[in-house]
Structure 1
């Protein structure tokens, strides 16, 4: 199977041979690269090396970004570190194909930045010798990252292969508010209709009825949108905690007493889908929830005509932010009240990796480690003090002049567009974590899991098996759940649904996750 994969991609490479022409001069092929020994690399302070060195890094560039070479973070960090980075930029559209081509051709850069490497890719390219193990480099040259891994052991567990190697570094988010979707409700409508904030799923149902029928926007028309969510099964993720359903190990998994349980065929899931079907049938849940675009969803947030929705921050409804308030997870019919929609601290897997052609792995590790400090993350996210941000009570804030054009922010930082290898802490999150968002997060905090386990690192053979099983199971679950919610499939078919999941070997998939979890505990 691996040989076939290689042939297919190599054929693509031949057809697209000029796409990555600049990569081949990186690493060991650069004869003019200065000699830098381990003794030449400063383990603390700046510059990292006295004699400047050059590195080439492959990266994803989001549509909102400007060129990386024009970002103040990389201009200023080059002067500070004596490390000049040439970025080989690949647009988000087609990024995966270009990344595949990179490895298939073996025309490697020195490192991959904001690379979105999957666990399977990390295993494949690491065991194949194209990515180097990083665990010893982290111990010696990455004090910031090492400290975070010691403080949050689940980070190491989530990025270490079964053989004990670390081939990629994630984006790390210690700020809870940057790992959750808040539950936003229209407080102005509640006040107008003399309603209390709902505490249970049944109370939410009654509130949504009032939003639908009570004309809270006062225009005499029944045009209010009681509840919406992102397209697809995002509403399942948002509501699952009220039915005792968690999202551990990057999947639809509960862990109780060290036992892994995939809950897709469970009675709790049936109860949740029946609840969502009730909301949809009575037009309390957005009728476009399985068809609208991301842009349309964001527009609904900002319209002021929506009663209840989910999002990480308030950026999309800033002009009417006083209309909304964040609420706690709703208590479900069995007394469950969990904030299940929370990402792990190692949020962005595979954000950074070093290749085997890199002549300066120690330099490169020290270079990336800076962004796992509050100081380095501030530079990456905010740019230059005075020009782009100012410090208030020890916290960086974008200046008012800079924010007059919100598109400016995305052009100066690679964090806009997601997936950048760096630390998101309370210190550097003023833009995405203003007081209203902090208050909304405080409502969720008592119901957050103590540990959120990231997706496990499987060996390549097991990862292939997991992928094969999940491709069929996930597609079937999404199709059938959608039909259950919209009423195209009756719940008298539930036993048939459960039986089909078993035929698709969901119990074998569960065992693979159980084995991976057990290894994490050793």
Structure 2
């Protein structure tokens, strides 16, 4: 599409896409469009910190991100991480709800799960632990070992004097890394963890093939896990406390940064730049986010303590069957200009 030069009115792409750097060649500056057609975008709808961050050297703003969490968002609270350590509820309870926060308890629980010799839906022996794939279609190219494990055990990113800290040579990280290496050597971990694709991983989760699963991106697992949970009540995957620092550091799961995830542009091919700008402004605004995330006030949500709250039946549907909620209701699934701080 980009090579052909035949672009739609509005285009959204991953913020890491190389074409983002060339936005001045294919996109109309949003600040220019806002000044001409919709001053509300710069004055009220968009986050001032985000606008400042995305202003380029030429003084223009070409793309606006989703999930752009600023320092003020974190100060207000309600910004959550997207990583989780999960276990199959039935097996976890059968094992006596073991403590998996220490290296010894972690290994012991995996060994106990292996001894149960339970089968998944395909008749294969359940694997004690699986992790987010290492492959290119994964959110982290080295599975949980890129960032997630270090976050769980509280390895800092900076020294006390704000200098770079090499998390991967941290003694506590190395200790936990060896626990996973040892687990793999003992046959307690998925032997395909470094080569498996997203489809391979999805098949395992859909068939309940893991006792424990360490997720670097829980949002990408909702479909598979809800399919398994709906068809196997009592065997669903639940979050429990996983690997924890052996030296007393606190777990620190990150939310998104001010960079966000995707960026949305209005292209130079837009047939009606004014309408495109008005739509973008609406979706970026708090009102637009409420419509995307909660629907119509009085019909699908009410205001409580100044915040929108989904009706009880919809909230239960979303929590018990995320995939079904996404397909039948669709709220909270329009991610391209979503403000996660407002959603929280």
CA RMSD of aligned residues (A): 4.4
1:159 pairs with 2:54? yes
Kindly state the Cα deviation for residue 228 of structure 1 after the two structures are TM-superposed.
0.7
Higher RCO by CA contacts (8 Å cutoff, separation 6 or greater):
2
**1:170 match:** 65
CA 1:411 to 1:183, structure 2 compared with 1: closer, same or farther past 3 Å? same
- In structure 2, the partner of 1:507 is none
Which residue of 2 is the match for residue 278 of structure 1? 182
Which of residues 288, 297, 304 is equivalent to 2:208? 304
Residue of 198, 223, 237 corresponding to 2:125: 223
2:294 touches 2:301 (CA, 8 Å); kept in 1?
A: no
SS class of match (1:125): helix
Structure 1 residue 357, shift from structure 2 partner: 5.6
What is aligned with 2:4? 101
Tell whether the 8 Å contact from 1:209 to 1:284 is kept in structure 2 after alignment. yes
Bigger CA radius of gyration: 1
Structure 1, unpaired ranges of 5+: 1-97, 247-252, 430-522
State the distance in 1 between where 2:59 and 2:326 align.
39
Which residue is 2:29 aligned to? 133
Question: 2:243 maps to which residue?
Answer: 330
Is 1:192 the counterpart of 2:94? The answer is yes
CA distance in 2, matches of 1:317, 1:170: 28
Paired position in structure 2 for 1:343? 256
- What's the CA shift for 1:195? 3.3
- What is the TM-score of this pair, normalised by structure 1? 0.48
CA deviation after TM superposition for structure 1 residue 297, in Å: 1.5
TM-score, normalised relative to structure 2:
0.68
- Counting helix residues as a fraction of each chain, which structure ranks higher? 1
- Residue 169 of structure 1: how far off its partner (Å): 0.6
- The Cα of 1:180 is off from its aligned counterpart by 0.5
Q: Which runs of 5+ in 2 are unaligned?
A: 70-77, 135-141, 304-308
Structure 2 residue 144 is matched with structure 1 residue 235: yes
The yes-or-no answer on 1:213 pairing with 2:123 is no
What per-residue deviation string (whole Å, max 9, x for no partner) do you get for residues 412-461 of structure 1? 96985x8522334565x8xxxxxxxxxxxxxxxxxxxxxxxxxxxxxxxx
Aligned counterparts of 1:336 and 1:130: Cα–Cα separation in 2: 47
CA distance in 2, matches of 1:276, 1:382: 41
Distance in 2 separating the partners of 1:165 and 1:200: 50
Contact 1:145 1:369 in 2 (8 A): no
**Deviation (angstroms), 1:168:** 0.8
Q: Judging changes above 3 Å, is the alpha-carbon distance between structure 1 residues 119 and 333 closer, same or farther for their aligned structure 2 residues? A: same
Give the Å deviation of 1:108: 5.1
> For the residues of structure 1 that align with 2:202 and 2:17, how far apart are their CA atoms?
31
In 2 relative to 1, CA 244–142 (structure 1 residues): closer, same or farther, beyond 3 Å? same
